[in-house]
Structure 1
Amino acid sequence: MSAPYDTPRPARPAAAADRGATGGGTSAVDALTAALDEAVRAVDAPDVVFACARRGRRAIRCGGTAPAPPTPRELLRYETGSASKPYTGLLLGRLLSEGAVGAGDPAQAYLAPGRRPGPHPLTLTHLITHTSGLPSLPADLYPGALRQWRSNPYAHYPAERVVRAFLGARPRHRPGTRWHYSNFGVAALGHALAAATGTPWESLLTDGVLAPLGLTATALSPAAPGAGPVDATGHRADGRTATPPLLIGGFQAAGAVRATPGDLLAFVEAHLRPAGSPLEDALLAMRRDVLARGRGHRDVHTLTWFRHESEHGPVYFHAGATSGQQAFLGFAPGTDTALAAVATRRFRLRDTFVATAYALLQAPPGDA
């Protein structure tokens, strides 16, 4: 898991696409698939998939610098890192709409119900919007994580340590007054929601979000050999050195989701077209602005998404990375576009992946 998103930068050409598109043969589809092919070529990673739905037409294009794997790239399951947070935000939205929890509820009330809260408690909203004042990660995570920083830094830090660190944490500033991205805060939120409902996190997210949206190729842990979808193999920044599957420890709510491109696209399509969904109320609520920050208040946040303005209206998005993979999710109601992109390389300097996906979402091909 890394920063929530990276500043878009110009892309550079790379690998060719190797898979076809789904949908009709109209000129709009041709424009869409051509744009996705160009996006695939612009990302220098062993495996790249861009999946897009535009005005009811779907297209998935794949490629990469490595030979095509035995399992087609569009059928592999990819780690999403911080792009898991929209799933946690949607779950929170559902629980809020059902009255199971309150937006202003102190997380401590669920994690340590017998303890008296302080004068400025950290609420569920503070945790999901990164305004809690908590650091990015607990201080005591680093000694054990440094040896595994480029592979599995979270593996040794279980749920009980996240909760203990949260209950002992002293926010760096008054909650709700400043924005600071925090995997720690979102992880603690997951444990608070699990405690509030009396349901383990994996069951809570599966029953509350994945099952209602029909996301059967999405999971929260690595696949067992021979069972279900095959997991993609990530790579370090050199694009050659393989990384092990992500083990997330107690940070599930902040970065555990792994899914096929089809499931990722279905997730953002649900946000794009919520009407008729079993989660319609929560999906619509996820578009509401919660806070704005940065120069000119350009960076707007909902409970789930980052929002920017484009010439066609708002675009909602979130990106994420693990030690060897990256993901980008987003949708733009003004152009009726949903986008999911994945790559099996962790870019640490010049990131062509996020810049390419973000640009495609802002200015989709075809009629606007």
Structure 2
Amino acid sequence: MRAVDAPDVVFALSRHGHRTVRCGGTGPPPPAPRDRLRYELGSASKPYTGLLLAHLVHLGAVHGTDPASSCLRPERGTTVGPRGPITLTHLVTHTSGLPPLPVDFYAQALPRWGTDPYAGYPSRRVVRAFLRSRPRHAPGTRWRYSNFGVAVLGHALAAATATPWEELVTGHVLRPLDLTGTGLRPAGPETDATGHRADGTTPTPPLRIGGFQAAGAVRATPHDLLTFLEAHLTPDGTPLAAALHEVRRPVLRRGFGHRHTHTLTWFRHPAADGGTMYFHSGATSGQTSFLGFRPDRGGALAAVCNRRHGSTNALIPTAYALLWDL
């Protein structure tokens, strides 16, 4: 808690089904207990989107090799440029060749960069920017982290299934895993943690994600985060067993010596004792999160705080070290 230094901090650990939750912080106690509030996950929402894709593939509703353009503009067929089509798998694995954000995103976002930069960029602009994009690199050849790409994936899945995004995620992921403390939009201070800027005292407004829902809209209680991670530890017997097994499978390697391994949704690192860590982190304008699990140790860790630390963020390395030492 001292290392993280935020108004509200929660570390939630599960070991072989036994949960330990610790709460603290530098601020006064919030209206509800800290471990009962929902925290903004930011990019740690992406494992939910990847799991949804894996489940829809298992159901036969889509295929990972489907071109995203054919989902979004079926009347025109697949848009195949000189570098080939961008598939759904390319989008979720950050190998689409798309930039982190659309080129025209920054002009509208800069005036409110520290509060809600995504709010003014709606779904139609995300889709339009994608259909007009000309990636620098051929899809599947390079890894480049892209909120833009995962946002496009969400719109492609919604279009392919003719189902609104919130309804799609709720019906196929949240409800089957009994994630009743998880949502995709703000619900108010009695339910949601209030974020703070890097100074730890200036409040930030609730996240409004615009057309980037699939890349960062999830907010959840620490207990729900453990439920989500425990399903990854013991997939069998859950309604999403096939998809949960699939998202643990390595699909690409990158970096010097190919030391960085990725699954469909998770970063995958070797631990010091020979085990394997799966994890993802995220941040919004006022909150930070870390999700991770280790099947070899039967353990899962969710860590959240309501402060955006920027480049000096202490939550993520602290939580990573705790998962490493599990």
User: 1:296-322: per-residue Cα shift (whole Å, max 9, x none)?
Assistant: 212111111000001241100000000
Q: Distance in 2 between matches of 1:113 and 1:231?
A: 39
User: Residue 212 of structure 1 is aligned with which of 176, 179, 199?
Assistant: 176
Q: Is the 8 A contact 1:268 1:331 kept in 2?
A: yes
Q: How does 1:192-203 map to 2 (within 5 A)?
A: 192-203=156-167
2:238 is the counterpart of 1:277: yes
Aligned to 1:322: 284
1:172 shift after superposition: 1.5
3-state DSSP of counterpart to 2:244:
helix
Report the residue type matching 1:118 in the other structure: V
Q: Distance in 2 between matches of 1:60 and 1:142?
A: 39
User: Residue 135 of structure 1 is aligned with which of 88, 99, 102?
Assistant: 99
1:275 shift after superposition: 1.4
User: Residue 143 of structure 2 is aligned with which of 179, 186, 190?
Assistant: 179
3-state DSSP of counterpart to 2:310:
coil
3-state DSSP of counterpart to 1:118:
coil
1:295 shift after superposition: 1.6
1:224 shift after superposition: 4.7
Q: How does 1:97-246 map to 2 (within 5 A)?
A: 97-115=58-76, 116-119=78-81, 120-224=84-188, 230-246=191-207
3-state DSSP of counterpart to 1:254:
helix
1:114 shift after superposition: 2.3
1:70 shift after superposition: 2.3
Using the aligned pairs only, state the percent identity: 66
Aligned to 1:340: 302
Aligned to 2:51: 90
Over aligned residues, Cα RMSD in angstroms?
A: 1.0
Q: Is the 8 A contact 1:54 1:335 kept in 2?
A: yes
1:56 shift after superposition: 2.1
User: Residue 260 of structure 1 is aligned with which of 199, 221, 245?
Assistant: 221
Q: Is the 8 A contact 2:194 2:204 kept in 1?
A: yes
Q: Distance in 1 between matches of 2:122 and 2:217?
A: 13
Listed as ranges, the gaps of 5+ residues in structure 2 are: none
2:251 is the counterpart of 1:287: no
Report the residue type matching 2:185 in the other structure: S
Aligned to 1:27: none
Q: Distance in 2 between matches of 1:240 and 1:349?
A: 18
2:322 is the counterpart of 1:360: yes
Out of 115-124 and 158-167, give the one that drifted further. Answer: 115-124
3-state DSSP of counterpart to 2:158:
helix
3-state DSSP of counterpart to 2:268:
strand
User: 1:153-189: per-residue Cα shift (whole Å, max 9, x none)?
Assistant: 0001111110000000011111100000000000000
3-state DSSP of counterpart to 2:311:
coil
User: 1:49-78: per-residue Cα shift (whole Å, max 9, x none)?
Assistant: 000101221000000111121211001110
Q: Is the 8 A contact 1:312 1:334 kept in 2?
A: no
Aligned to 2:19: 58
Report the residue type matching 2:144 in the other structure: H
Report the residue type matching 2:232 in the other structure: H
Report the residue type matching 1:173 in the other structure: H
Q: Is the 8 A contact 1:318 1:330 kept in 2?
A: yes
Structure 1 stretches of at least 4 aligned residues deviating more than 3 Å after TM superposition: none
Q: Is the 8 A contact 2:17 2:230 kept in 1?
A: no
3-state DSSP of counterpart to 2:74:
coil
Aligned to 1:28: none
Report the residue type matching 1:251 in the other structure: F
Listed as ranges, the gaps of 5+ residues in structure 1 are: 1-39
Report the residue type matching 2:303 in the other structure: A
User: 1:28-64: per-residue Cα shift (whole Å, max 9, x none)?
Assistant: xxxxxxxxxxxx2321111100001012210000001
Q: Distance in 2 between matches of 1:313 and 1:42?
A: 26
Q: Distance in 1 between matches of 2:238 and 2:305?
A: 29
Q: Is the 8 A contact 1:312 1:335 kept in 2?
A: no
1:117 shift after superposition: 2.0
